[in-house]
Amino acid sequence: MKSLSLILFFVLAIFVITSKATKKWLPAVNGYNRNDAINGYAGLMGNAITGLRVSGGNPYRVHIKGGEWLPEVTGNNKNDFNNGYAGTKEGNVIDAVAISGDVNYVVHIKGGQWLPVVNGYDITEPTNGYAGIIGQAIDAIMIKERTYATSYNDNNNNDNNSGNNNGNNGNDCYDHSTIASAAVAYAWGTISEGNSNDGTQLYRAVKDAIFPGDIYYQSCDRGVATAVRWSGADDSFPAGNTGSQDNYLKNSNLWTFIGNYDQSYNELKPGDVVITIPERRGTKYGHIVLYVGNAEIRKKYPNSNAEFVSASLGDRSPGCGDNKNAYIGGGYHIYRYNGNYSGNDKNAYTGCASGTS
């Protein structure tokens, strides 16, 4: 009986050690623009904030989801646990922030939207004393006229302060085990959030790893090709003009033609590629999007009614939007990946999320 107890103890110890979340800090920013994903705000959309550093020397503090307000800090040093940042060593999820110094600041609710701007510093006053909604994780923050940075847990993209891994290969915190989940993982919550910017931090990191040196982020073909390759489905899926992609889909044994969109859109399944070319569309450019399904999008953005992830050349980076009616009458065709995702974690691009840290 004693030996059985020892075995159970060691099994539990191993579980705790291997499931522990690791705090990763994102690069510091000093902008104040929700449309600037590079320097306008701190955070990785869809991943709960677990730490905050702010310059200026004024007191600030955070509230832990399911817990309490932590003590004030004034520093800006990720290596100083006592006064360098607000948050716990364990990487508990944060749901509210209070910053002193008569500064404007605003937070984004994970799976939700940006809240109103506040500039107060009073944890008893939820209207203007702090930013956030107690009980709802935040995944981004903007602070005016400050340099600031946030952390997230690299093996945990939920918001329940646990250490579950939702990925497909154990080396990052994003579920990209299918084409649909990969696309949603790096997409904005809405199409408009992608307007005139190069995408979420995750999208830029993954795309840079898959297509190094490529300068096109606001592009429908890259938005699709990045998800297909990152999922491990098809390492050879091309980026570039839709004519070459259409030709590839026709001739690849990994893809099955399902039918013309106008007649077959009710047969769509998550991960299906929907594509048209100038000759069929009657315009100068073709277009390509991914049907991911509303259920997949709601895992990350619970209030969304969207069904597709799409981008547009020179216009916007990948975001969730549209429904099945949006692509009727445009000469679109539907193609479906017919391979097996099992074992795809060994393919060339499935580890690309490490570029965000």
158-213 pLDDT per residue, tens: 455 533 333 333 334 478 899 999 999 999 999 999 999 999 878 998 999 899 99
pLDDT band at 155 (very low <50, low <70, confident <90, very high): low
Q: Which residues have a Cβ under 8 Å from the Cβ of 246 and sit 6 or more positions away?
A: 275, 277, 286, 333
pLDDT band at 340 (very low <50, low <70, confident <90, very high): confident
Q: Which residues have a Cβ under 8 Å from the Cβ of 153 and sit 6 or more positions away?
A: 21, 22, 23, 24, 47, 48, 50, 91, 163, 173
Instruction: Determine the pLDDT at residue 58.
Output: 97
Instruction: Determine the pLDDT at residue 283.
Output: 92
d(CA 292, CA 227): 11
- Type of residue found at 295: A
d(CA 135, CA 227): 32
Backbone φ and ψ for 71, nearest 5 degrees, come out as -60, 155
pLDDT band at 357 (very low <50, low <70, confident <90, very high): very low
The pLDDT tens digits of the residues spanning 220-231 come to: 999 999 999 999
- Please say whether the dihedral angle defined by the alpha carbons of residues 71, 145, 159 and 92, taken in this order, is positive or negative: negative
d(CA 4, CA 8): 6
CB 85 within 8 A of CB 44: no
CB 100 within 8 A of CB 121: yes
> Greater confidence, 258 or 348?
258
Please give the DSSP secondary-structure letter assigned to residue 346.
Answer: G
Least confident of 28-32, 286-290, 332-336: 28-32
d(CA 307, CA 296): 8
Report angle CA 50, 141, 88 to the nearest 5 degrees: 20
Q: What is the mean pLDDT of the chain?
A: 86
Averaged pLDDT, 229-248: 96
The pLDDT tens digits of the residues spanning 99-143 come to: 999 999 999 999 888 988 999 999 999 889 999 998 889 999 999
Backbone φ and ψ for 153, nearest 5 degrees, come out as -95, 125
DSSP 21-47: --EEEPPPB----TT-TTTT-BSBTTB
Nearest Cα neighbor of 184 from 64, 295, 73 is 295
Backbone φ and ψ for 95, nearest 5 degrees, come out as -120, -5
Q: Residue 16: is its pLDDT beyond 90?
A: no
